[in-house]
Structure 1
Amino acid sequence: MSGESTTRTAPGGRAAQRISGIAVALGLVLFLGGFAWGAVVYRPYTVPTGSMVPTIKIGDRVLAQRVDGDEVRRGDVVVFKDSSWANAPMVKRVVAVGGDTVACCQKGKLKVNGKVIEEPYLPSGTPAEIMDFPTVTVPDGRLFLLGDERDNSVDSTAHLTDAARGTVARAAVSARVDAVVWPMDGMLARPTGFEALGPLSSPGPLRTVVALVIAGMVLVLGGAAYGSLAKRAAAARAARTRTKEPAGAR
């Protein structure tokens, strides 16, 4: 009977293996679930120009939440495509929405609905817009967009003579940028200068997605390590038990 007992896993060892298995299984669910959620909600883009410096630099990789154009608010950095602008997706900041009036400049600062907008995300020491432009009333269902690098951005100011006065349809927006992920600059700062004009957009679930992925990875690695250590400890205890048994009992 003593020989048979040495081949069995001790009760403590069996419990440890169960805990390890549960941790690894839960970790895989969180890890894969987080990635799947992120893939459904977010789209990656590489920004090819410097029109959004310093918020987004040339070659930066961003994650943009898939949104409907009706969800866009002032201050959002959005991905859109308008064939009259370019045949590729573009990234700009929404500074005015349908019904707003927008003009530039008052002491180098943008004005929306008669209010001067503080824009701390602009390059240090630069005016809101190099070239003044007359007041534009944004038609319903459309957006007025500017680059953060106002001196190097083909944005709504370059299309003021168009029939739409430089505005873009909300329906042209496909996503809202949440974060710069390469290099890892993190979440975009909230555009608080627009708060007096109405509610801002809420950040997407990126932080939750990242937390799920990290928690899943920790559980998988920790569960696997715990199971391995518990197995070694159980084997060591079994070996010590065998060495203590009387020679005649073997």
Structure 2
Amino acid sequence: MSGTGNKQDGRGRFGAMVSGLAVAVGCVLFLGGFAWAAVVYQPYTIPTDSMSPTVRPGDRVLAERIDGSEVRRGDVVVFTDDVWGATPMVKRVVGVGGDKVACCDKGGRLTVNGTPVDEPYLDRSSAVSGDGKAPASPEGFSATVPRGKIFLLGDERATSLDSRVHLQDAGQGSVPLSAVQARVDAVAWPMDGMIERPSSFAALPGGVSAPGPLPLQLGAIVVGAVLIVCGALYGPVAARLGRRGASAGRTRPVAARLGRRGASAGRTR
């Protein structure tokens, strides 16, 4: 009996150790994921429909804090510029320093350095151009982006107040890279997920930016939560199974004694 008890005690101690380790690792991943996300990301609420349908008024987005040097064409950025009103704004970068941005070509598309750019994030169904789609901009324009600056448009081209409104300003509506505060990575509420980098800009020099670390952070949080729950449940589950095993162990000897008594009675008869 003592040997069996020692084995059970050993298994119990090992299980408790694994359970404690799971909870500890889970806490590190869970809290670490939240802390990492808090350092890297800034939440914003979209105030207008200038970026519809990508993001809509009232959407809560997560924007990765970045330096202006990390900006690439196709990024949706948060920036503040005194000329634009000195309030945080959200627009899409369509041109960087040295680019000539124009609209529209025969297909109604935006061009960057003469290369047509397909923009799947636009709603081009409201009017008709030569190819049966609305143009990428209701009014034509052309601008050359100075070095160290970016050219920005809203995805709702019919109503967005963007670089097109400031074409007569110095820099032809461009904004300094230093004005950029963050790059929008995902829509947190409603939970629409990650905002993809437009593949149409990938073929241009410089390519597109890499996705932020948000998926890794969410993965760490989820794995941490699972480990914490599983580790916390081990104790109650193991105790309950132990009580069941002890009860079954007490029942078997009684049944055996009753069986021997019945057999003895049968021989007597």
TM-score (norm 2): 0.84
1:111-163 Cα shifts (integer Å, max 9, x gaps): 11011110001014232111111x21100000000000001101000111111
For the 8 Å contact 1:27–1:219, the answer to whether it is kept is yes
Equivalent residue, structure 2, for 1:229:
237
**Between Structure 1 and Structure 2, whose CA radius of gyration is higher?**
2
The one-letter code matched in structure 2 to 1:16 is G
- How many residue pairs match? The answer is 242
Distance between the aligned counterparts of 2:146 and 2:46, measured in 1? Answer: 28
Tell me the equivalent position of 1:181. 188
Q: Quick one: percent identity of the two aligned structures? A: 57
Give 3-state SS (helix, strand or coil) of 1:12's partner: helix
Q: Post-superposition shift, 1:227?
A: 2.5
**208, 212, 227: which one pairs with 1:219?**
227
Q: Where do residues 89-128 of structure 1 align in structure 2 (5 Å cutoff)?
A: 89-107=88-106, 108-125=108-125, 126-128=134-136
1: CA distance between counterparts of 2:177 and 2:120? 25
User: 1:178 is matched by which residue type in structure 2?
Assistant: D
Deviation at 1:240, TM superposition (A): 4.4
How far has the Cα of 1:239 moved from its partner? 4.4
Q: For the Cα contact (< 8 Å) 1:73–1:201, is it kept in 2? A: yes
- How many angstroms does 1:242 deviate by? 5.6
Runs (4+) off by over 4 Å:
239-246
Question: Aligned partners of 2:57 and 2:200: how far apart in 1?
Answer: 25
| Counterpart Cα distance in 2 of 1:33 and 1:124 | 43
Alignment of 1:21-32 (within 5 A): 21-32=20-31
Residues 60 and 188 of structure 2 are in contact (CA less than 8 Å); yes or no, is this contact kept in structure 1?
A: yes
Unaligned stretches of 5+ in structure 2?
126-133, 255-269
Shift of 1:52: 0.5
What TM-score comes out, normalization by structure 1 length? 0.91
Residue aligning to 2:50: 51
Whether the 8 Å CA contact 1:75–1:191 is kept in 2: the answer is yes
Task: Return 5+ residue gaps in structure 1 as ranges.
Answer: none
Following superposition, the deviation at residue 10 of structure 1 comes to 2.5
Aligned to 1:197: 204
The offset of 1:224, in angstroms, is 1.3
1:237 positional shift? 2.8
CA apart distance, 1:106: 1.1
> 1:84 is paired with a residue of what secondary structure?
helix
Greater length-normalized contact order (CA 8 Å, ≥ 6 residues apart): 1
Q: Which amino acid aligns with 1:204?
A: G
Decide which moves more: 115-124 or 141-150: 115-124
Q: Say if 2:124 and 2:136, in contact at 8 Å, map to a contact too.
A: no
Deviations 1:76-110 (A, max 9, x none): 00000001102311000000000010111113211
- Residue 263 (structure 2) aligns with: none
Q: Is the 8 A contact 1:13 1:231 kept in 2?
A: no
